């Protein structure tokens, strides 16, 4: 058995200063850790330092205590710090409407062991995917949403997320806008897939907008949801070439594959603790 059995991953960001890399590596060494991988980035314009560091701790070491101690250390050197323990699986909820391509892709990736998480529930404003959710063995929650009941529907959703201790919501083509109150009350990350190459063609029917504009590239954008529609920090984007010969239906067909791949990658990076958000941008460590 390896003398190193538990792994921790830390994400740090804050004002750039001399000796940060040395301080971090020194703390890990002093606390019987072994660095497995480390990467850093400096935003020269903003003067902000970013780092992702992954390390192992001695067998028998309490990983939770180590995580708390590193968190305190990060605070002491002026860094915003997040520490995750490998092996701990956050609970995830998938929000979906009728389109099922992203829905199936995410669940099959999870079933195959690609995602270190637990998909705990499905929330939908339509019943179309209720049967297949049961087939997958995931609880399905039908919560209809319209203009008249939106506040009540979101309150029901929030109560469900709290009860199930959900740590991440993935909007897999959930065709509703989550309110600022919902996002603020939930207080945890929400990843959305938008079927265009943002910031172009935000809002409804982006493929129709793209076709009308005669674009030569279409795209998909995975981003964190914020109160500003389709304006949240971008995690990942993909594009495909199109021509004047392509109809709106062609764009939709090509785009759906982009949507699946783009959302899948963004969710994977998030679950692997590779994303740092600052201002309205992201640093994604490979």
* Class of the CATH domain delimited by 4-85: alpha beta
Average pLDDT score over residue span 171-175: 95
Angle at which helices 63-76 and 20-30 cross, to 10°: 150
pLDDT (tens digit per residue) in 111-151 = 999 999 999 999 999 999 999 999 999 999 999 999 999 99
Q: Is 230 a catalytic residue?
A: yes
pLDDT of amino acid 89: 95
Domain edges within the chain: 4-85, 91-284
Q: How confident is the model at residue 199 (pLDDT cuts 50, 70, 90)?
A: low
| Residue 2 pLDDT > 60 | no
Burial class (CB in 10 A: 0-12, 13-18, 19+), 147: exposed
CATH of 91-284, one of 3.40.50.2300, 3.20.20.450, 3.40.50.170, 3.20.20.70: 3.40.50.170
Specify the pTM. 0.92
Average pLDDT score over residue span 168-173: 97
| Residue 1 pLDDT > 50 | no
Q: How confident is the model at residue 216 (pLDDT cuts 50, 70, 90)?
A: confident
Question: What's the rounded Cα separation, in Å, for the pair 124 and 20?
Answer: 45
Annotated catalytic residue within 39, 128, 228, 230: 230
């Amino acid at each position: 058995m390896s003398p190193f059995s538990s792994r921790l991953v830390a994400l740090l960001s804050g004002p750039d200063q001399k000796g940060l890399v040395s301080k971090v590596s020194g703390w890990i060494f002093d606390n019987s850790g072994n660095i497995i991988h480390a990467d850093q980035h400096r935003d020269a314009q903003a003067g902000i330092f970013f780092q992702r560091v992954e390390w192992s701790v001695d067998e028998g070491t309490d990983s939770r205590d180590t995580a708390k101690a590193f968190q305190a250390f990060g605070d002491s050197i002026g860094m915003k710090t997040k520490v995750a323990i490998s092996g701990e699986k956050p609970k995830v909820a998938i929000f979906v409407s009728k389109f099922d391509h992203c829905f199936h892709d995410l669940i099959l990736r999870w079933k195959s062991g690609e995602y270190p998480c637990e998909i705990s529930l499905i929330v939908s404003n339509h019943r179309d995917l209720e049967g297949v959710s049961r087939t997958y063995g995931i609880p399905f929650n039908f919560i209809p949403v319209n203009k008249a009941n939106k506040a009540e529907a979101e309150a029901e959703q929030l109560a469900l997320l709290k009860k199930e201790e959900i740590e991440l919501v993935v909007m897999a083509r959930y065709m509703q806008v989550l309110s600022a109150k919902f996002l603020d009350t939930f207080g945890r990350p929400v990843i959305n897939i938008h079927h265009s190459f943002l910031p172009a063609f935000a809002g409804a029917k982006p493929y129709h907008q793209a076709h009308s504009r005669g674009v030569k590239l279409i795209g998909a954008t995975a981003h964190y949801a914020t109160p500003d529609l389709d304006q949240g920090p971008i995690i990942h984007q993909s594009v495909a070439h199109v021509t004047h010969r392509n109809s709106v239906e062609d764009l939709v067909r090509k785009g759906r594959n982009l949507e699946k791949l783009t959302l899948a990658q963004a969710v994977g990076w998030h679950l692997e603790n590779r994303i740092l958000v600052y201002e309205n941008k992201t640093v994604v460590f490979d």
